[in-house]
Amino acid sequence: MPQAEGSATNQNKMETTNHLPATLCRLGIESSVQFIGNGRYILPDGSERFLVNQEMLLRLTRSLGGELHEPIKTTNVQRLRSMTTWCVRKKL
């Protein structure tokens, strides 16, 4: 039976989405993950993962004194999880 608008289940999903890194929101799995704290989430495939977004990776790249070797890429794996490739090199 569908949950009514504003129900506890819908409210929990809305609160969960507010914590999501921006990358996930664009991939369409935001309604299927559960925030458990400290940047960690339970994904639809059942795994527990620390999730990042582009802003976090760019900030870390700068703090390491590096630069992107190539653009950041993210792949959606059948709406179960997403994987990011982040290649950094020392600034020349």
* Residue 65 token pair: 């004194």
Q: Is 29 exposed, middle or buried (0-12, 13-18, 19+ CB in 10 A)?
A: buried
Residue 84 has pLDDT above 50, yes or no: yes
- DSSP code for 32: G
- The per-residue pLDDT for 76 is 85
Q: Of residues 38 and 81, which shows the higher confidence score?
A: 38
Q: Of residues 27 and 4, which shows the higher confidence score?
A: 27
Residue 8 has pLDDT above 80, yes or no: no
The verdict on pTM exceeding 0.85 is no
CA distance 3 to 5: 7
Q: Are 68 and 61 in contact (CB under 8 A)?
A: yes
- The per-residue pLDDT for 27 is 54
**For the segment 23-72, what is each residue's pLDDT rounded down to a tens digit?**
554 556 777 889 999 999 999 889 999 988 889 999 999 999 999 999 99
- The per-residue pLDDT for 24 is 53
- The per-residue pLDDT for 15 is 43
